[in-house]
Structure 1
Amino acid sequence: MDFDFTEDQQSLRDAVRRWVDKDYDFARRHAIVKAGGFSQEAWDGLVGLGLTAMLVAEEHGGLGFGPVEAMVVMEELGRGIVMEPFAQAGLIAPTVLARASAEVQAAWLPKIAGGEAMVVLAHQERGARYDLAKCAARFADGKLSGKKSLVPAGDKADAFIVPALSDGRIALYLVERAAAGVSTRAYSLQDGSRAADVSFTDSPATLLVGPEQGLAVLELAVDVGIAALCAEGVGAMDQYTAITAEYLNTRKQFGVAIASFQALRHRIADVKMQLELARSMSYFATLKLGEAPAARRYALAQAKLQLSNSARFVGQQCTQLHGGIGVTDEYVGSHYFKRLTTMEMQFGDGLHQLGVVSAGMQETAGVFA
């Protein structure tokens, strides 16, 4: 199988990398964290690159790109630990809205492509434990009521994609943040990014996907998010590994660079191995997004499990190899560590995905399977 990227994909990677290097260096990111974890100027920069139009169909003003281009972009954003919710607004939202009615698509997809509207998924609820079928929010008589947690940039988004029960089954609705009955409470996550709890009280909502396909499309949306997270994690781990290798080559003890110590060389080799495992599973996840739902869901659970394991190992080892400086807020390494730690909790943590993977292999596990 050919895993080489096309010239267009390489050009896209180069463009995003140049933007990250020039407009999203560590000093600027640190300032954004202190300002609350979201920068409208940085978001406008992503829009200016045309990234929000990537997955939008050409008839709605988009570029009509696919999952591989999305993976390329997410890797580069991961290298810069960019906090603005591109995966949510630029990848997940177009995926869901493409399955709405023609009228809704015409109203919202051009806005997303042009950066005029930021639409994010608001699906997590207290007590659900990553189970997408558990939903307390309800829709009745044209109004939606419920509470959602950990909504990315929830107080900055223009609208939300909200799963809610309709006649006992999950359907997906679009609710504008300015609508009646919508309230947000913003806060910062451990990695410095911005999130919010969002409450809906008899809020007017527009149907996106009916209860016949609501849960299936929600699962697809989460799988798109997992694939994006895997690619972002690869970018972050790759850059943190490079930063750590540079530190080992410049930090000296007993008159020599500590990179010459065999024990540390073995540890950085193990880090590199975990990075490459995560990279291969990221490619796997991206290529499986077009599969049948059951195969896709299982593959994405496998990929997220590997990401969780690799992110924990790489983050912890690279931080320890730095010594005390590795946990200081003023040093870039600590921010990679915090981002990798936060990733493990998003779209199903490692234990949840281990359960999914284990359940799927009960009849095929073992030497004599």
Structure 2
Amino acid sequence: MDFDFSDDQQQLRDAVARWVDKGYGFERRQSIAKQGGFSREAWNELAELGLTALTVPESYGGLGQGAVDAMVVMEELGRGLVMEPLAQAFVASAVLSQFGSDALKQSWLPGIASGEKLVVLATQERKARYRLDICEAKATKTADGYAVDATKSIVPAGDQADAFIVPAQLDGKIALFLVESGAAGLSARGYATQDESRAADLLCRDAAATLITTNGLTALTLAQDVANAALCAEGVGVMEQTLKLTTEYMNQRKQFGVAIASFQALRHRVADMKMQLELARSMSYYATLKLGAPAEERHTAIARAKVQLGQSMRYVGQQSVQLHGGIGVTDEYVGSHYFKRLTQMEMTGGDTLHHLATVSAKMQENAGVFA
């Protein structure tokens, strides 16, 4: 099996890497963080690079690229700690392409591709604890369509989005709806998260909505799997840069007149960080390649990847702080922001224990036993 990236994918990686290096430095990121954690200008720059159109079908103005291309992009955005939620464009295009009506596709996919429309997933509820099948939101049929009554938490860039993909109970079954930001009865309270990106709590009170699909749990699982695969790829980029920062610091920091990188005990810890990074990278590749598999196989694969990524992100982040010493947690130093991002990512889209439970539940009685 050939695991090499194609020339087009390598060129895509290089283009995103150049933008990250030249257009999204630490100073700009800090400026965006002070402004609230989301920049429409930076989002438009991602759109100009064609990244918002990456996975949108060509028939709707997109580039029609696959999951591997999205993974390549997310790795590079992770390396630069880019806060704008590009993964939500991948999620929205996947859900609408596979489950939306022709009218819904015509209305929203071209806008998602051009970057004019930011459509985000609003699924988390207080009592759900990452479970997608627990949903207290309600939807009712109206003369003009549907109305949704829901409270959703930690919605990515929720007060900046143009529309939301919202799961709600319809006739005793989870369905998926599109709610526009200007709908009457909808409000969003925005705030900065621990890693300085932007999120919001979404409140819908009989807000007008368009039905995407009555097969909501299946569509919602796909959406979460796409989001988690993108998160895994982003995590690889964040860890890669964290390791780079750590080794650079160790080569500069001196103790007893020599660089601390020469201390054997510390070199062993860096080697363990590198091993965790490579384990995470392989599982990120695995998750991406499984996005086209049948639903149950795909969901189990994503859970496996998220378990490894969670363990790796926690280890790499904590070791980096310890090897840096006090400077590793100061706000002025870029390394502390990588640590905060890794910490938050471990709990996003289901924490390690949640996904470990999913993997365990899918194990068969003869797991690990060879006849």
Question: What's the TM-score bracket when you normalise by the shorter of the two chains?
Answer: over 0.9
How far the C-alpha of 1:367 sits from its partner, in A, is: 5.1
Count of aligned positions = 366
1:289 aligns to what? 291
Q: Could you tell me how far 1:359 is from its partner in structure 2?
A: 1.4
Which residue of 186, 191, 204 maps to 1:187?
Answer: 191
Unaligned runs of 5+ in 1: none
Task: Report the residue type matching 1:120 in the other structure.
Answer: V
Tell me the distance in 2 between the aligned counterparts of 1:306 and 1:177: 36
- Give me the whole-angstrom Cα distance separating, in 2, the residues matched to 1:95 and 1:367: 37
Aligned to 1:165: 169
Distance apart, 1:368 and its partner CA:
6.0
3-state DSSP of counterpart to 1:163: strand
- 1:239-267 Cα distance to aligned partner (Å, 9 max, x none): 11011111111111111110000000000
Q: SS in structure 1 opposite 2:52?
A: helix
Q: Deviation per CA, 1:84-130: give whole Å up to 9, x if none.
A: 11101x20010011120011100110011111110000000011011
For residues 303-318 of structure 1, what are the structure 2 equivalents within 5 Å? 303-318=305-320
Q: Which residue of 1 aligns with 2:79?
A: 79
Superposed CA deviations along residues 199-238 of structure 1, whole A, max 9, x for unmatched, are: 001111001112xx21111101100011000000000000
Residues 1:92 and 2:94 aligned together: no
Structure 1 residues 282-306: Cα deviation after superposition (integer angstroms, max 9, x where no partner): 0000000011111111110000000
Q: Which amino acid aligns with 2:186?
A: V
Quote the Cα distance in structure 2 between the aligned partners of 1:178 and 1:199: 13
Query: Post-superposition shift, 1:365?
Result: 3.4
Alpha-carbon shift at residue 362 of structure 1 (Å): 4.6
1:355 aligns with 2:352: no
Q: Distance in 2 between matches of 1:36 and 1:353?
A: 31
Q: Does 1:154 align with 2:153?
A: no
Instruction: Measure the CA separation in 1 of the matches of 2:276 and 2:201.
Output: 34
Aligned to 1:251: 253
**Offset of 1:361 from its aligned partner?**
1.6
Counterpart position of 1:215: 217
For residue 157 of structure 1, give the secondary structure of its aligned residue in structure 2: coil
CA distance in 1, matches of 2:69, 2:79: 16
Q: Using the alignment, how far apart are the partners of 2:174 and 2:248 within structure 1?
A: 50
In structure 2, C-alpha distance between the alignment counterparts of 1:104 and 1:357, rounded to whole Å: 35
Can you list the C-alpha shifts for 1:269-320, whole angstroms capped at 9, x where unaligned?
0000000000000000000001111111111000000010000000000111
Q: Distance in 2 between matches of 1:96 and 1:367?
A: 38
CA distance in 1, matches of 2:364, 2:100: 37
Letter in 2 for 1:265: R
Over aligned residues, Cα RMSD in angstroms?
Answer: 0.9
Percent identity reads: 65
State the TM-score, normalized to the length of structure 2: 0.97
Shift of 1:35: 1.5
Q: Counterparts of 1:272-287 in structure 2 under 5 Å? A: 272-287=274-289
Tell me the residue number matched to 1:123. Answer: 123
Q: CA deviation at 1:160?
A: 0.2
Match of 1:24 in 2: 24
What letter matches 1:55 in structure 2? T
CA distance in 2, matches of 1:203, 1:367: 53
Per the TM alignment, residue 334 of structure 1 is displaced from its structure 2 partner at its CA by 0.3
Compute the displacement of 1:364 (Å). Answer: 3.0
Task: Specify the SS of the correspondent of 2:332.
Answer: coil
- Residue deviations 1:61-103 (CA, integer Å, cap 9, x gap): 0000000000000000000010111101x20010011120011
CA distance in 2, matches of 1:344, 1:324: 23
Letter of the structure 1 residue corresponding to residue 211 of structure 2? L
Give the distance between the partners of 1:271 and 1:59, measured in 2 at CA. Answer: 44
**Structure 2: which 5+ residue stretches go unaligned?**
none
Residue by residue over 1:319-362, the C-alpha shift from the partner in whole angstroms, topping out at 9 and shown as x without a partner, is 11000000000000000000000001111101101111111125
**Following the alignment from structure 1 to structure 2, what is the Cα–Cα distance between the partners of residues 146 and 361?**
35
Taking the aligned partners of 1:151 and 1:73, their CA distance within structure 2 comes to 22
Q: Which residue of 1 aligns with 2:272?
A: 270
Could you tell me which residue of structure 1 aligns to residue 332 of structure 2? Answer: 330
**What TM-score results when the alignment is normalised by the length of structure 1?**
0.98
CA distance in 1, matches of 2:208, 2:268: 58
1:180 Cα deviation from its structure 2 partner: 0.2
